[in-house]
Structure 1
Amino acid sequence: MSASPEKPAHNPAEAAPPVPRHVAIIMDGNGRWAARRGLPRFEGHRRGMEALRNVVRIAGDLGIDYLTVYGFSSENWSRPAAEIADLMGLLRHFVRRDLADLHRNNVRVRIIGTDEGLAPDLVGLLAEAENLTRDNTALTLVVAFNYGARQEMARAARRLAADVAAGRLAVDDISVERFAKALDTADIPDPDLVIRTSGEQRMSNFLLWQAAYAELVFTPVLWPDFDRGAFEEALSEYQRRERRFGGLSSAIG
C-alpha cells in the first residue's frame, strides 16, 4: 500500500485575509444615540468623541495604515449655532487632550478641508497637530473637518485653471492623475473601505472622488456604540468581497 502524499505545510500568512490599507468612516448617529436615552445631543457628541479615541487605537492594532474620519462637513454649518459651538469645543478638547498621546504612539495627523469660517485658535490647533506629528510613521489619522467633496473638487478645478491661465499647465495635460494631485488628499491613497454607521446608506458629500472603487459597508450601529466588535465585523464584510476595479470576477474565469 503506497503512502499518502504529504499535505503542503499550512502558511498562516498566506491564509490571512487582507486588511484594508485605508479605512474611511462616516461617524453618524450621535444625536439619535442621545435621543434614545433622553440625553442632550451634546452628550451624544461627547460619547462619539470617546468612540473615536477607541477606534484610532483599534485601527493601529489591526495594522491599518490610514484612517479617515468625517469630523465636520461643509453642510454642518446649517445646524443650530449652539450645536456647532459644542462640536468646535469638542474638537479643541480632543486636540488638547489627545495630541500628545497620538504623537507618543507615532500617529500622524492630517487635516483635509478648508479653514474658511473657523476661529483662528482652532486653525492654529489643527496646524499644530499636523506640524507636531508630520514625521510619524505609524497610523495616519486623516480628519475631514469643514470638508465637502464637491467643494474639494471645485478647489482642485480652480487650482488647475489657475495653472492653465498662468501657462504652467496645458489643458491636454489635465488627466485623472493630475486632477487627483490637486485634491486635498494628494499624498493619501484612496480608501479601500468606507464605513457608515447608524444605518443610513449614502455618502453625504464624503470623498466622492477618492471612494470611486471603495467597498461600502453600512452598519446599523450608532457611532457612540461603534466598538472593536463592530469594527471587526465591518472588516470581515470587506474581506468577504472581491474587489474587481471594473474587471471581471475571478469566478467567471
Structure 2
Amino acid sequence: MPSDSSAPPLPEPLRVPVADSHTHLDMQDPSVEEALAAAASVGVTTVVQVGCDLERSRWAAETAAAHEAVHAAVALHPNEAPRLPGPELDEALAGIEKLAALPQVLAVGETGLDYFRTGEDGVAAQQRSFREHIAIAKRQDKALVIHDRDAHADVLRILDEEGAPERTVFHCYSGDAEMAELCAAKGYFMSFAGNVTFKNAQPLREALAVAPPELVLVETDAPFLTPMPYRGRPNAPYLVPVTLRAMAATKGMTEDALAGHVAANTARAFGYRAP
C-alpha cells in the first residue's frame, strides 16, 4: 500500500501561541511565506530555522533577517564534520562563527554527536567539531542546540569537559527518564518532537513525564518526524499543536498550561522577547 504523501490537515488552533523550536523550512515544499502563514493560523507564531552546513546556515540567517517570525540557528551537523578534511573543517567553522555573530542568529546548532551512521573513523572529527561549536556559542553568547543520536554519554561528557553554554537545548530529545533528570539538574532545555507520539516511544514519554515544565520545548524537526496519526506524511510547523497536545496528556497538564510554559521557555532558551 503506497504511503500518503499529502499534507496533513490544519489542526485546531492553540489558544496560547507557541514557537516551533527547530525546523528546516529549506527542506519543505511550501514557500517560507506559506509555511509561516499556515503555522500562524494555528497559533505557532515563531519558528527557529536551523542550518546543517555552511550553505544552509547562510540561508537560515538570510531568512531570519527577512522574516520577523523566524530566528536562525547555524552550525555544521555532526554528520558533516567527518566529510571535511582538517583545513576545510577549520574554514567551515570560521564561517559558522561569522554567521553566529549576526543579530538574527540566536543559536549555534544543530551540533553534537551522531553515531548512528558514523564509524569509528568519524568519531574524532565529530567530537572536535562539537567542542568548537560549544566554544563559538560561548564566545558569541548564543544558545547551543544539540543533536544527540546514539551518543548520550559522550555528549554529556563533552558538555561537562568544555563547560556548557548558559543556554543549552537538546533538540529532538532522545534520552530516557534518567538522562532527563540529569539534564534538568544542569538546567538543559529538552525539546520534544513528533516522535514522542509514536507507539514505540514509551521511554521518551517517560522522559517527558519527569522533565520540569520550565525546561520543556516543542519542535517539529520538519519535514521529519511527523506526529501520529500523520506519520509518513510531510511535517511542517503548523503541526506543532498535534505534538503539544500529546505532550500535555503525557504530563497531565492542560494544553494551555503547557503552551504557556513552552512559549516562555523557548523565548528564554533562545534569548528573544516572546510575541
Report TM bin, short chain: 0.3 to 0.5
> Under a length normalisation based on structure 2, what TM-score does the superposition of the two structures give?
0.38
Name the larger-Rg structure. 1
> Under a length normalisation based on structure 1, what TM-score does the superposition of the two structures give?
0.41
**Structure showing greater relative contact order (alpha-carbon pairs closer than 8 Å, 6 or more residues apart):** 1
